[in-house]
Structure 1
Amino acid sequence: MKNAAITVMIVLTGIVLLALLRWTTPGYAVLTGPIETTGRQGAPAQTAGFNLKVDKLILSELLVFQRYGKKVERSTGGVWAVVTADASATNRTLMLAGVSLRGASGRTYMQSPRVDGMSQLLSGKELQPGLQQQGLFIFELPADELAGAELVVSREVFPRLTAQLAISLNEGSAIRRTVLEIGRDPL
């Protein structure tokens, strides 16, 4: 009887231990997720594949730009967040495909498709090793998402086991405009 009680206790302890391990082990998405490096606006940040320096955050209610030779105006119910940045590759030619803005609530906002075709966009341009490329990242989001927002950039749209930069943006130093005309206004 005593041996049976000891066996039951060992089995129950094993079950509890296995359950504890299962509940505390991160999921597959976390284990294979991006390797995030943090940075801040105004300071250069680097991963193994690329360098990025965010210069300015410009907020506007109306965006005006040239696309395919025509003037385009875009208004929004929220705010346009225009991020100016310098980027370069470190080892080999690459493009930054994964560009998003992580808002105060933790929601992720992808770069606005309403500005596709704008020549000043940095995403989609080839970055060469050692050559700085200047450009813009443009997002459309609710104004209350700006406090503590982060620009998140990677080579892939959905990075797995690869580098990703998370650059904290300073809303307090943001330039605010009612109308921002890209190509005419100094950025």
Structure 2
Amino acid sequence: MSRVGSAVLGIALAAAAVGAQHFVLDYNERTTPLTYTGTMGEAVDTGRFSARALSVKAARSVEVPQPGSYRRIEGDPVFILVETSATSAREPMKLTADLLTTDGKVYRKTDKVDITWTLEFKWIQPGWWASGMYVFEVPAEALPGASIVVRLPTASETYVPEAEIDLGLDEASANALVSGAQETYRLGNKS
């Protein structure tokens, strides 16, 4: 190959390398989840798992089993309980959830209730729908238009899917939910 040909090839390779950098994703782009959306009662399929929000309840306190009785945990002012079910496509997995408001604020599940009593504790298996509650403490004014976001517990993978499910709450129904909160909701056992 002649010097001119080598120089042209070198310039072309350098230009291709610079151009290829444009297509390289940065860390934030690689770890931003792929969001699949749906509404209350609808199964939202993300490819790796499907999730569905079945109901939304409010309670001033929850009770969790303890040997011989139940332990009561008070909400501040109330707990929002989202009954959710999920199944996986190919492999067993665990799922967690956050509550997302219309202004983009994210509420993590409450740390007052151990995950043992929530859907997060259960293994989600292929072909079987597992159901349970996710428990949040959210002010009433944040509930209109809120969604539950069901996702894998870690987001270190590339293109991790999540299911964002609209809870179907407008201002009137959110206020009615909170004002009509039951005194105590008893969470089930871990089976």
When normalised by structure 1's length, the TM-score is 0.73
For structure 1, list consecutive stretches of 5 or more residues without a partner in the other structure.
1-25
Instruction: Return the alpha-carbon distance in structure 2 between the equivalents of residues 143 and 111 of structure 1.
Output: 16
Higher strand share: 1
RMSD of equivalent CA atoms? 2.5
Q: CA contact under 8 A between 1:45 and 1:53: conserved in structure 2?
A: yes
- Identity over aligned pairs, percent: 23
Structure 1 residue 117 displacement after superposition: 5.0
**Counterpart code for 2:106:** T
Structure 1 residue 78 displacement after superposition: 3.3
Deviations 1:71-119 (A, max 9, x none): 22222333311011111111111111x4111123321111111110543
Q: Evaluate the alpha carbon distance shift between residue 43 and residue 164 of structure 1 in structure 2; reply closer, same or farther with a 3 A threshold.
A: same
Structure 1 residue 28 displacement after superposition: 4.8
Q: What's the secondary structure of 1:29's corresponding residue? A: helix
Instruction: Return the alpha-carbon distance in structure 1 between the equivalents of residues 68 and 154 of structure 2.
Output: 29
**Counterpart code for 1:158:** A
Q: Evaluate the alpha carbon distance shift between residue 68 and residue 151 of structure 1 in structure 2; reply closer, same or farther with a 3 A threshold.
A: farther
Q: Evaluate the alpha carbon distance shift between residue 28 and residue 83 of structure 1 in structure 2; reply closer, same or farther with a 3 A threshold.
A: same
Q: Who is 2:77 aligned against?
A: 78
**1:179 aligned onto 2:188:** no
Q: Who is 1:157 aligned against?
A: 154
Q: Who is 1:60 aligned against?
A: 59
Deviations 1:30-70 (A, max 9, x none): 45400000011111111111111111000122222324554
Q: Evaluate the alpha carbon distance shift between residue 45 and residue 66 of structure 1 in structure 2; reply closer, same or farther with a 3 A threshold.
A: same
Q: What's the secondary structure of 1:105's corresponding residue? A: coil
Q: Who is 1:4 aligned against?
A: none
| 2:99 paired residue among 87, 98, 101 | 101
Q: What's the secondary structure of 1:123's corresponding residue? A: helix
Q: Evaluate the alpha carbon distance shift between residue 61 and residue 169 of structure 1 in structure 2; reply closer, same or farther with a 3 A threshold.
A: same
**1:43 aligned onto 2:42:** yes
Aligned residues: 158
Instruction: Return the alpha-carbon distance in structure 1 between the equivalents of residues 68 and 38 of structure 2.
Output: 36
Structure 1 residue 180 displacement after superposition: 2.8
**Counterpart code for 1:50:** F
**Counterpart code for 1:180:** T
Instruction: Return the alpha-carbon distance in structure 2 between the equivalents of residues 99 and 54 of structure 1.
Output: 11
Moved more, 158-167 or 138-147: 158-167
Instruction: Return the alpha-carbon distance in structure 1 between the equivalents of residues 75 and 83 of structure 2.
Output: 20
**Counterpart code for 2:35:** E
